[in-house]
Amino acid sequence: MKTGFIGLGIMGRPMAKNLLKAGMDLMVADLNKDAVAEVTAYGATEGTYAEIGAQCERIILMVPSGAISKSILFGQDGVASTIQKGSIVCDMSSVTPGESRECYEQLKSIGVDFLDAPVSGGEPGAVNATLAIMAGGEPEVFEKMQPYFSILGSSALLIGGPGSGSVTKLANQIIVNNTIAAISEAFVLAAKAGADPEKVYQAIRGGLAGSTVLDMKAPKILSRDFTPGGTLVINQKDMKNVLNAAHELDVPVPYSAQLYEIMQYLKVHGHIRDDHSGIVQYFEDLADVTVCSPEKYKE
């Protein structure tokens, strides 16, 4: 069975490679031809959206936004223009629940199944195939995609009907991004007070403040390594999705709203392509202090 994979960015590229390593027959597409060349060198073939629709029974999307997903699927010469009945489209992008449900309904009307299955774990999770996959859709469709999920991640759970995976990803992003902001604020306080931030991290990581987010992002802050595993531009888009979905449901999200504006500040100051651990730079600017390990400070 031939599988289509569209979207070869920071996350999509290693995900596609992992499918190839597992022996999948993969046809790929991306606007970045260097990324396409890299993945085809691993054994994939390149195809247009229409060719992927015509030739692939399983099609995975991993793109930056719901608008892009819909354009790839339903635009002129898009996947839906040639897709065969009984095929499955699995959108693993981070989009709004409404966008996922819209894709579900449009594809269902032409006899094609759809699953929203966004992921958590960032670039390391994509590279190491340890992504957490949260899915929304019909149980039988989820079961058909399980062989792919077992290659790409360490866990996959069907949350509920269409859009449920996207809702779960929004909840995940609220927790992850606001936790990074809290970590940033705490380490700026410690640094301004003259404490060694490396020792502060080691002291608190085994207690109640310890978390996967702390262990992934504190070392990047301390080493001043803002090379993106998850860019601020993508996470700001996710927080905008949070705000839009929350407003539709009349759910106040004051922390997330403030964090969106913090990310806007970082965008204005040229940091939007940094890893989201770069949120610390906002708090550093407020306090006029830099958080880093003593060794990094000596440099």
Of 169, 217, 220, 237, which one is the catalytic site residue? 169
The question of whether 169 is a catalytic residue gets the answer: yes
User: Rounded to the nearest 10 degrees, what angle do helices 164-192 and 280-287 cross at?
Assistant: 30
Gap between the Cα atoms of 103 and 87, Å rounded:
14
Gap between the Cα atoms of 106 and 207, Å rounded:
48
Gap between the Cα atoms of 220 and 122, Å rounded:
14
Nearest of 85, 149, 75, 147 to residue 116 by alpha carbon: 149
Q: Give the single-character DSSP code of 18.
A: H
Torsion of the alpha carbons at 65, 34, 277 and 270, rounded to the nearest 10: -80
Q: What is the DSSP string of 110-177?
A: TT-EEEE--EESHHHHHHHT-EEEEEES-HHHHHHHHHHHHHHEEEEEEEESTTHHHHHHHHHHHHHH
Nearest of 165, 6, 124, 12 to residue 70 by alpha carbon: 6
Show which residues are catalytic: 169
